[in-house]
Amino acid sequence: MSQTMTRRQFFKVTAGGFAGAGLGALGLTPEALQAATRPFKLERTSEARNICPYCSVSCGVLMYSIGDKAKNVEASIIHIEGDPDNPVNRGTLCPKGAGLLEMIHSENRLKFPEVREAGSSEWKRISWDEAITRIATHMKADRDANFKTTNEAGVTVNHWPTVGFLASSAASNEAGYISHKVLRGLGVIGIDTQARI
């Protein structure tokens, strides 16, 4: 889905105030933009369509990344703007959505699994394998100790009452469904989501 932008499209983008500011922040000086004597930076990018993850207007966005999808090449998004085809936002983004690029490159993104041991005041980096094994071991120990097959009245309940799970409302529908399926599969009943709040 790579796309070459025409200059006309480009000026439409920069006219969008914030989007323009975002480009400026990337080192494209206004002079260079106007002169357009060198190839436009988005020319070699790939485009992917996505949705702003903030409010429920769910504005369509176009994300431009450098680095194609070839093996051993890491794509990195360098520009995000509103999707002009989306019938709801028609290319606009609000001040929240204008900061999406800075969000995905935030210095506070988590990059590795970590553990904070009981009583410790520090994080410690661990591998995924260690993290999943340790968490699953906790889960199994708790489930084995507290799983209830019947209640006091003898009714089959088959639930695990000592665990709770708060589900993301920024996850995709598919991730939400898989979370639900896994949780019920394990017998979890203490489930809630951000949607309530």
Partner 1 sequence: MTNHWVDIKNADLILIMGGNAAEAHPCGFKWAIEAKKHRGAKLVVVDPRFTRSAAVADFYAPIRTGSDIAFLGGVINYLLSNNKFNAEYVRYYTNATYLINESYSFADGMFSGFDEAKHSYANDSWQYQKGPDGAPYMDPEMQYPKCVLQLLKQHYSSYTPEMVESVTGTPKEDFLNIAEMIGECSKPDKVMTILYALGWTQHSVGSQMIRTMAIIQLLLGNIGMAGGGINALRGHANVQGITDMNLFGANLPGYLASPSDKEPNLQAFLAAKTPKPVRMAQMNYWVNYPKFMVSLLKAFYGPNATAENNFGYDWMPKITGAQDVLALFEQMHQGKLNGFFCQGFNPLASVSHKAKIGQALAKLKYLVVMDPLATETSEFWKAHGEYNDVKPEEVQTEVFRLPANLFAEQEGSFTNSGRVIQWRWAGQNAPGEGKGDMEIMALLFTKLKAMYADGSGAYAEPIQKLHWPYRIPTSPSPEEVAKEVSGYAMADVLDPKDPTKILAKAGEQLAGFALLRDDGSTACGNWIYAGSWSQAGNLMARRDNSDPSGLGQTLNWGFAWPANRRILYNRASCDVSGKPWDASRTVIKWNGKAWVGNDIPDIRADTPPSESVGPFIMNPEGVARLFAIQGMKEGPFPVHYEPFESPLEANPFFPNNAKARNNPAARVFKGDGDNFGKAADFPHVATTYRLVEHFHYWTKHSVLNAITQPEQFVEIGESLAKEAGIGHGDKVRVSSKRGHIEAVAVVTKRIRSLQIDGKLVHTVGIPLHWGFKGVTRPGYLANTLTPYVGDANTQTPEFKSFLVKIEKA
- Residue 18 binding ligand SF4, by CB under 6 A: no
| Site size for partner 1 (CB under 8 A) | 124
Residues 144 and 136 sit within 8 Å (Cβ to Cβ): no
- Helix pair 7-14, 18-25: axis angle to 10 deg: 110
* Of residues 37 and 56, the one with the C-beta less far from ligand SF4: 56
- Residue 21 binding ligand SF4, by CB under 6 A: no
* Of residues 58 and 194, the one with the C-beta less far from ligand SF4: 58
In the β-sheet with 46-51, what is the strand arrangement from edge to edge? Answer: 46-51, 60-66, 76-82
For the chain, the C-alpha Rg in angstroms (whole number) is: 23
| Long-range Cβ pairs for the range 81-84 (8 Å, 24+) | 81/13, 81/16, 81/19, 82/16, 82/19, 83/49, 83/59, 84/12
CB of 31 to partner 1, least distance (A): 23
- Residue 27 binding partner 1, by CB under 8 A: no
The partner in contact with residue 76, picked from partner 1, ligand SF4, none with C-beta cut-offs of 5 to 8 angstroms by kind, is partner 1
- Residue 189 binding partner 1, by CB under 8 A: yes
- Residue 87 binding partner 1, by CB under 8 A: yes
* Of residues 36 and 178, the one with the C-beta less far from partner 1: 178
Element (H, E) at 93: none
List contacts with ligand SF4 (CB under 6 A).
52, 54-55, 57-59, 89, 93-94, 96-97
